[in-house]
């Protein structure tokens, strides 16, 4: 049976691991979506879908860019790629946990606007981590189109849910989502490192 997720090579990531990675990555977008929902008076799905398209689209685009950057330098740093993947994912994860544990429960924005000038910087900011993760995917011989499609779709779904949750429940899930996302990324980074070192 053909492997739609991988090209030839030693690095591997199962479809379940990729889904878990996608969920971890999307937690920042989920948290910001909660803030957007909190600022919106409209409880319909139209605005939630627009938020999901912004965040999901950029969450797919950024790892695509990162993948081509990582692939370009893969041969030169193949002996250290597992360490790079581990440190990148760990740094992102620790930062997400730090933000989740910060005492401030305020949203980064109190604007419910979906204007281009508002959504573009938000979409970029929530997907910067995905750029770094895309670099690690370049080391793992992953077929990038299925991978980024899954990441984008996952983020879209969770962003819609986050927007609706913000409308209905306020800030209840924001910090928990960021904390969970950070833990997921650190665990995946550690797994990649231990596999390459032959520990597991």
pLDDT at 158: 95
124 or 200, greater pLDDT: 124
Q: Which of these ranges, 100-109, 125-134, 147-156, 174-183, has the smallest mean pLDDT?
A: 100-109
Give residue-wise pLDDT tens across range 7-64: 555 556 778 888 999 999 898 889 888 888 877 766 678 889 999 999 999 999 999 9
CA 130/CA 181 separation, integer angstroms: 12
- pLDDT higher than threshold 50 for residue 1: no
DSSP state of 102: S
Identify which of 34, 73, 36 has the alpha carbon closest to the alpha carbon of residue 173.
34
pLDDT at 74: 65
Q: Quick count: other Cβ atoms within 10 Å of Cβ 135? A: 23
Rounded mean pLDDT of the chain? Answer: 81
Q: Say what the pTM is.
A: 0.78
46 or 88, greater pLDDT: 46
Give residue-wise pLDDT tens across range 155-175: 999 999 989 888 776 666 667
- pLDDT higher than threshold 90 for residue 149: yes
Q: Quick count: other Cβ atoms within 10 Å of Cβ 141? A: 18
């Amino acid at each position: 049976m053909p492997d739609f997720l991988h090209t030839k090579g030693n690095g591997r990531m199962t479809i379940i691991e990729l889904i878990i990675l996608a969920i971890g990555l999307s937690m920042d977008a989920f948290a910001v979506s909660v803030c957007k929902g909190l600022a919106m008076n409209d409880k319909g799905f139209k605005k939630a879908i627009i938020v999901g398209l912004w965040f999901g689209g950029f969450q797919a685009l950024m790892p695509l860019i990162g993948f081509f950057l990582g692939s370009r330098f893969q041969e030169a740093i193949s002996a250290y790629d597992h360490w790079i993947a581990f440190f990148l994912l760990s740094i992102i994860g620790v930062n997400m946990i730090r933000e989740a544990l910060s005492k401030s429960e305020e949203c980064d924005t109190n604007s419910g606007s979906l204007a281009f000038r508002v959504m573009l910087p938000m979409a970029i900011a929530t997907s910067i981590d995905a750029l770094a993760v895309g670099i690690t995917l370049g080391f793992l011989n992953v077929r990038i189109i299925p991978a980024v499609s899954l990441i984008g779709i996952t983020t879209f779904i969770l962003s819609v849910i986050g927007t609706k949750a913000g409308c209905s429940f306020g800030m209840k899930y924001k910090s928990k989502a960021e904390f969970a996302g950070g833990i997921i990324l650190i665990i995946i980074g550690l797994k990649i490192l231990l596999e390459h070192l032959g520990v597991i």
